[in-house]
Structure 1
Amino acid sequence: ITEYPSHASCINCHRQQFFRGARPQICTICHTNPGPRNSTRHPFPNPREVFDASPKGKDAESDFDINFPHSTHVDIVSELRPQAVEFVRAGWTRMRRSEESCKVCHQTHMPQGDSDAEYATAPPKDLGDNFWLKKGTFKTSPIGHTTCFTCHSVDTGIEPAPTNCAACHAMKQKPPPADFDKELWTRVGLRDRITRDAWSTRYSSGTFRHEFASHAEMDCATCHDVSALKTLDPRSMKVAITSCNNCHITATSDDGGILNFEIDSRKADASFRCVKCHLSFGTQPIPESHIKAVAAMAGN
């Protein structure tokens, strides 16, 4: 479906709204300037690439969540694509299938690459040690049907078929709190829907940057339990704090663990804000999982 329905499809349910006021509010859903002399419409939300570039699309929020079973696809997708070969310690080995599958749908968004400009937008001159969004922070997810229809098509006969919308699209439920600062998002001034959607669904760390050198070298499975991911259950997408072991969690603060340092700082000053990993979560009580992770690294 790539075009708005005709009025006949709408009027059965919305007849009263159609005749409410000189410019009925319901008409603005489709029309840019409702009236008898102007029938111009906003781009239809599908395909997203076109809609997102429009004024309405930049700030739009979908009424649907996507049901995508990662556990079903992680092996199948990699089998259907050529596997890269890498040279490791004088021997040839194929990259793990799960890693290859992840790259089919998820790429680094707005990568910095070799550029000297690391920030997504120009930061304030008095930024200091405060956080500002950097390029390469997020990974993309498919925003349209193109990747899905590679396999799920009339020709292949693989279910769910392209006509079965309800198989993948479910009405959006109220999500849990995310580590997202709306005021900061406004100040960053990006108006990029992919970034906004990714940032506003960060249920673990709002500052984690995928393109950071040490992070980019790690496998996806280091942090993500792909087989357990359920896109309709935000709790399944939380990253366990133990994924940060050794680098950010050490036996003591003197060993360089930033989590150790921030926990010690909070114990010394109840007003201390945890900012290395968090935005809106930084003032909340320290989760028990964090305390246990530090204790485990200390051998307690």
Structure 2
Amino acid sequence: MANGKKLLRLSSLLIILVGVLGFHLEAMSMVGTPQDESNERPDLIMIDTIAAQQKLELPAVVFLHDAHTKALAEQGKDCTACHQKKKDGKTSLKFMRVENGNPDQLKEIYHNGCISCHTKEAAAGKKTGPQVGECRSCHQVDPEVKAEHAAARMDNTLHFRHWDSKIIKNDKGQDTNCGSCHHEYDKATQKLVYVKGQEEGCVTCHTAKPEGDVKTNTSEAFHEQCITCHKDLAAAKAQKYGPVQCAGCHGLAEAADIKADDAKLLKKMGGTLPRLPRKQPDAVLLTAPAPKGTVGNEAAKGEMIPVAFNHKAHENVTDSCASCHHKTLKKSCSECHTDRGSKEGGFVSLDQAMHNPDSARSCVGCHAIKQKDPNCAGCHELMPKAALKSKESCVVCHNGPKGDTNPATLDASAKAELAADLISERPTSPTMLDTADIPEFVTINALENEYKASKLPHRKIILTLVKNIKSSPLANSFHNSPLTVCASCHHNSPASKTPPSCASCHANASVKEIDGRPALKAAYHGQCMTCHKSMKLTKPASTDCSSCHEPKKNG
């Protein structure tokens, strides 16, 4: 007994000595999976909380979360061995506490908690972690283990799995369960409440640096909400309850399995998920915001031809509502992105927000991403980017009514009705020439020398492109002229059934380039090979000349 007391006092002194060195420790998120022999693990957490308050004297601690979870499970223990419950019943991500505390308090909590547990396990003859004096085992300058984890997010499919679940309890008096996750802070009662039909995305309030009444950042909010719920369902012996370890969401192999499972679910649903029960509009008429000082029917008149936006169709081709509503679901785009830009909208004007070709959130930028699909890329890869700004492409979207009544002054119901009418008039299949007007073959013999003339299956190519377009409502809307599909090859020619030959613009092989235009041989090969590569066609190979050009025989 006496020896035991001496050992305990010695251990306490050593713990204090180690503690004064200081380090930043914080298990902010669970990111990993138990891959015992791998140096790349998604469950790696670099514990470094104190760095936010003072300079570290030792490197951050290398902590393998799932390795500890597994060890605790073997002892019949759970998360409560390290994590406390908050007042709202959710599990705190902070080790053995709810609040942060000062550096000295944090050092004591971590050292006492971790080292005492390791010492106890060692005394029981079990394999365990570093003990007193083995500082560098935890505080590693260049850890051998590296973090590797898949990003997790609440996309449309995962969202559907939750709100369609019969396991998650319904909201009081409702047939929905949205209130299990979505909430607002009620200042009057100082409590979190659920308001039906006013659901926001989690990241709207829980940002990287929360402000005001919001206490938890994005990572904390997701992990506290999700893992607590999953563990409660597991304790209730639910058949399905979601991941409770890092690997379930962040393991690379597990993420691939989830993606494959999502694809199966989507196929089972006929390729379309049911719409969220939030009473969002089917169609929206986008109009320019009225400039300050204007009233009545003159407000914003003539500033922008309205756009009929098919909200229902876009829901199924985006990952989540946040793909467009990146700040909030409760405001229209024009409330933040004004005609001249505002601080709230990051000084990005409405025109820029909708037409920036380099932003995945803008209409033009998103459409440009869709053009990289192999079915589309064959044509669009070589088309001049200026075509995006052409009058013909603008009127596809900006096709609102032109008259004395300014649509911007209509009420929401009238706008929605007008938008639905305009959308119904859009083409549902590509417009094209009669098959008889499309030459079946085109013989390319301008460069005939060592090889015989190339016989291009012209009609087959055109019909294949049109077939690809039919599966895309987006393509159907923009390919609204019988000659649109011709523009991919005849890119600088007037729209015509009988466009001029390539040689009329591209000089013969003896000239390398004129005014930036490649010579005829380079033009042919660049056009055809780039198209095949973009469409991921393996035959003919770009090095297999004889597939297109039959070699001439000697003599």
Q: TM-score, normalised by structure 1?
A: 0.35
Q: Does 1 or 2 have the higher relative contact order (CA < 8 Å, sep 6+)?
A: 1
Compare CA radii of gyration and give the structure with the larger one: 2
Q: TM-score, normalised by structure 2?
A: 0.22
